[in-house]
Structure 1
Amino acid sequence: MISHHNFDFNYISDENGRYFVYSVTNSMTTRFVIDSSGQIEQMFWLESSKAWFQFWSQPRQPCDVYAYCGAFGSCNEGNQSFCACLPGFRPKWENNWNLMQDYSSGCVRKTQLQCENTVVTNGKSDKFLANSHMVLPKHPQSVAVGSIKECETTCSRNCSCTAYAYEDNACSIWIGSLLSLHQLSPGDANGKTIHVKLAASEFSSSSNNKGIVIGAVVGSVAFVALLGLLAFMYFRKRENTMKTSKSVEDGSLVAFAYKDLLTATKNFSEKLGGGGFGSVFKGRLPNSSVIAVKKLQSFSQGEKQFRAEVSTIGNIQHVNLVRLRGFCSEGTKKLLVYDYMPNGSLDSHIFHRENSKVLDWKTRYQIALGTARGLAYLHEKCRDCIIHCDIKPENILLDAQWCPKVADFGMSKLVGREFSRVLTTIRGTRGYLAPEWLSGVAITAKADVYSYGMMLFEIVSGRRNFEWNSVYSEDEEMKYFPTWAASLMSEGGNVLSLLDKRLEGSADVEELSRICKVACWCIQDDETHRPSIGQVVQILEGVLEVTQSPIPRSLKVIADNKEDIIFFTESSETSGASSQAKFAGSSASS
C-alpha cells in the first residue's frame, strides 16, 4: 500500500540466519544516533522542510528508556518536558535540563539528609514523603517484615536506604539512587506508592507551644480586624476566579465553582454550538481571558472517576489539541473549560455560508496535516492510545492563526457507557462513522482514520459528502462525493475537477492528488487496509509515497445502485447553519 521512497528494505532468510537489511535509495542525508539518554534514533533530513525527521527509534517512548530522567528523576509521558525531579530534589545540571533537554544527569537533594550530616546535629530525624501513582524504580531489595511501619523503620535505620514501598504485604527498599521512576495518571490501576526519604526541613513543621500561645493571643486581639479582612477577601475572590480556584494535579487544571462559570458566561447566554454530549458557551474570566465552557449531558461517571479522567485529559497537551483549562464538578453539574478558538470550527469555513471566508488551498492542506498530527499524538504518543471516536469538521477548531486544534478528545471515557449510544444517534456524526461501529466489532484507532478520510474529502470539495448545495449548478448529476473521487482517482482523471469550485482551480496538484489518495486509503472497508494516522502524517509531509487504493466495496454498492439512492437534507443539531444529509437505498440495503 505505502512505500518509503527513501529506504529500500529487504528480508533475508538463508543458512546464515534471518534478518532485515536496508539501503538508502537516493542521495538524502541520514544519521543513525544514540542520544544522551540511550535511545537509538534513525533520522533523515527533509530539504523541503529544512528539518530532521525521525524515521525509527528504539525504545519507542522516551519513558521506556532506562534511567531517561537520571537519578531521582520521574518520567511522565503526559507532560511535554517528560522529566521532573521528585519533591525535595532539583536538577543536577540546570542548563542541560532547560536548554538541551538532556535529563540524564538526574537530580540531587535540595537538603542533605540528617543521617549523612556529620557536622551539624539538629536532632530532627529524616522523614519519608509518599509519591503515589508511580511505576517503581529498578533494583529493589526485598525485606521480610510484618507491616508497613516495620518496612519504614528498616529503611530509616539504614542511611544508604533512599526509599521504600509496601505493596501486597511485601516490603521493598532501595539503596542509593532511584532510577527509571515513571509517573502514571491517577486513573491508572498499575500505579504504586513509593516513600522517599527526605530531610526533616523539607517538610513544613508545626509551631512550638510558645508560638501557638502567642498566635492564639494575637488572633484574639485581631478578631474584629480579621472579619473585615475576610470580607475583603470574599469580594476579591469574586473579582479573580483564577487565583482562588482550587488547583488540581500540580496546577495544570483549575476547579471552577459553578457560580463563577455562571457569571463568566453571563448565565450561559452566548451559545457557540452543541451536540449529543452537551452544549458549548462563550465566557470571559475576570482577567479578560476568553474561554469556552462545555456543559456535559448524558453523564454517568462518579465524582472520583470524573476527576481522574479530567486529570488525565488535562495532562495531554499538543499544539494541535484544544487545551483543557479546568472543570467544574458540583453534584450533577459537570462542565469542562477550554481555551476559546476565535475562528470557530472547520465546518463554518469549508462549507458554503454567507459572509464566510473561503479558505485557500494552502490553509486547507495545513489544517489537514495539523489535524493528523493531533490525532497521531493521541494514538501513538500518549501512554495509552486515545481513540477520539468523533472526528468531523465540527470538532476541528481554528485558533487566531488558523492552526487546527482537535476538540472533544477523551469524551468516550468521560461520558462512559452512554457514549456509543449517543454517538451513533447524533445527526452529523453518522456520515463519518466507520463500518465497524455498526457491525459490533471492537473499535480501534483505525475508526478515527476512517472518519478523518471522510473529512478529507469535504476539505477538498468544500461541501458535505452527502450534500448538493447551491454552489453547484442544478443541472449537474447528483454524486456521492467519496464514490466520485475514488472512481476518478482510480481512472486517472483530472484531480482538479474534485476541488472546491470557489477556489477556481488554485491548488497544488501534487498535494491535491496526495490528499485524495490518502482519503481513499483511509475509508477502506477493512480496517487492516487503512494506514495508521502516523503514516498519514508522513504521507502529507512528503516523507512517504502513496499508491492508488482500490475502490471500497461500500462505495461500489452506492455507485451501482445510484438510481435507488435517495438524498435528502435535514437541519443540523450541531451547527444550526449547515445541512446534514443521509442516504437510503431500497436495493442497496437488501
Structure 2
Amino acid sequence: MNLTESGNLVLFNVSGSVVWQSFDYPTDCLVLGQRLYQGQQLVPSASSTNSTAEKGIYSLQVTEKGLFAYVGSNPPQIYRSYLGSGKDTNEERSYVRFLNGSLAAYLSSAEPDDPDFGIPIPQASSFQYIKLMPNGHLELIVSQSYNNWSVVQDILTYAYGECGYPLVCGRNGLCRGNQQCTCPTRDYFKLLDDYQPELGCSEITPLTCDSKQDQEFIPVKNTCKQACLNNCLCKAALFMYSNYPKGYCYLPSELYSMFYVDPGYNATAFIKVQKVRPVSLSPTSHQNQVSIIIGSTIGSFVLLVVVSVGFRMFVVQKRKKNAQREEEYLDQVPGMPTRFSYEELKSATQNFSKKLGEGGFGTVFEGILEDGSKIAVKCLEGLTHIKKSFLAEVESIGSIHHVNLVRLRGFCAWKSQRLLVYEFMSNGSLDLWIYHGVREHVLEWECIKKIILDVAKGLVKNFDISQPDEKRHLLGMFEKCWEQGTLLDMVDGYNEDMKSHGTEVVEMMKLASWCLQTDYTRRPSMSSVVKVLEGGMNVESNLDYNFTDPRMKRTSVTHEKEMTVLMPSFLSGPR
C-alpha cells in the first residue's frame, strides 16, 4: 500500500500490480492531478450547517459530450453544463483532470494530451483541492497556512449567479435578484417557514392523479401543456423556442428553485397546480348565507342613501349660509355705488342682445336704463362668490369722478352673476381712433392738437400717466426723417386735414423732440410745454435728435470715479 504525493492511496498485490486505488472511487473531492472519468461522479456529503441541503441530491459527471452538474430526480436535471465540440475520435473514456490553473476536459480530442476545453481557475503554490458542496457549488479550496483553508473560487457560479442553483430557495421557491426567496404565487403555494423563505414552498392543495380536470396552469404553447396534464408525474411545462424551429418542451417531475431570466430569453414556464374546489354548503347554511347577503346589501343601500341625503342637505345649507353672509356684507359696506338687480340689467340690455366688445375679464353689452341714460354693462367671468377684494375695487372705482375717466354707475351681484355698470361712451374706444384701419375714424388736426394740450395740462396737475420708452424704433425713424428733412412723411396718410397743417405738425414734432432730449437738464417743464402749445413760447433751437444713444454720467464718491448708465426712469426727469 502506498500514499502518493498527489494523495492517491494505492493498494498493490504480491506481484506489485495495482489492485485498488482511491482515485478510482472519488467521493466529493478532486485533488491536484486526479481524474474524473466517464461513469464516475462527485457526490457531496451531508451538511449539518445547511438545512436546505439534501445528501446525494447533487452530482458532477463526465460524458462524451462534456461536463455536467445534476440535481437528483428521475431523471436527473442538469443545472450546469460545459459542452465539448466535434466528434469523439478517442477510444479512451472521456474524463476531466484537475490541473494547477485549469479543470481540463479530454472528450473528443484525437491527441490524448490535448484537452477538448478547460475551465480556468487560479493557480496556487500550495496544497489545493476541488470539492462539490452540499448546496451544489463546486469550490476551489487552497491552503493559506497551517490548518487554514479558504475558498478562492466558486467555479460554477460566475455564469448564472446564486439564483441559478436548484435549491437556493428550496423546492418550488422563486429566486429574485439579490437572492430574495418567495413563492411563485400565494394563491397555490405557501412558505414552509415565513422566517426562513430559503427553505422553499409547499403546495396549498397537493397535486393528485385522480382527475386532471381539476388541474390548471398558472399563466405552454401547442401541445406542451396538454402533455404535462396527461403525465401524472409532471410538475411543470417548460417551453423554449429560441434556436429551435419547432420549439422544445421539457416536463420535469420535480420542481426546485427557479429564477427570472432576461426578457430576450424565449422561454416560458407553466407550473401545474391543483384547483381549489369550493366547499359545498348544506341547504340550510346556503339559505342562511343568502339571507346574510341580501340583508347586508339592503342595509348598505339604505346607509348609502342616508349618507347621500345628509351630505346633500349639508351642502345646500352651507350654500345658503354663505349667500346670507354675502348679502349681509353688502349691506354693511358704506359708500358703495348703486346696486342693480339682475332683472333690471337684463331688461336694460334687452336680454344682453347688443354686444359692444369683449376682453380678458368678460363681455360688454349696451343698454338703456329707465331714466333714458345709456350704459355699458360688463359681465365678469370667473367670479362666482362676492369677494371682499371685488367689493373694495367696486367701492374705489365708484368713488372716483374724473373728467378723463369713465364713471362706474353701479354693479350687480346675484347668484353667480357679477356685472359692472358704466356710463356709455358714444364715441367708442380710443384705440379705434388711434389705430384705425379705415377712413371712417379719422380725427381732425384741431381735435388732435386739443388732445395733446389736455394731456399736457393733466401732467401739469401731476396726473402721472407716463410710460416707459418701448418704441425706440419710432424714435430712430424720427431721427432719420429729421436728418433727411422729411418729417412730414411721418404724418398719418389718411388724415388730409393734418397734412394741410403741416407747419404746425412739424412744430409739434419739434416740441416732442425737446421733451425727449437725452440730457434731461435741457428738457422743458410741462408749464413750458403748455405755453408753447398755446402760442406763448417758441421751441428751443439746437435740439439733439439722437434719442437712441444713452449718455454717460460721471460721478465721484470718496475719490473713486465710476461710469454709470442713466436709467430711463432717471432720464425722464421730474415733471
TM-score (norm 1): 0.30
Structure scoring higher RCO (CA < 8 A, sep ≥ 6) equals: 1
Q: TM-score, length-normalised on structure 2?
A: 0.31
Q: Give the structure with the higher percent helix.
A: 1
- Larger Cα Rg: Structure 1 or Structure 2? 2
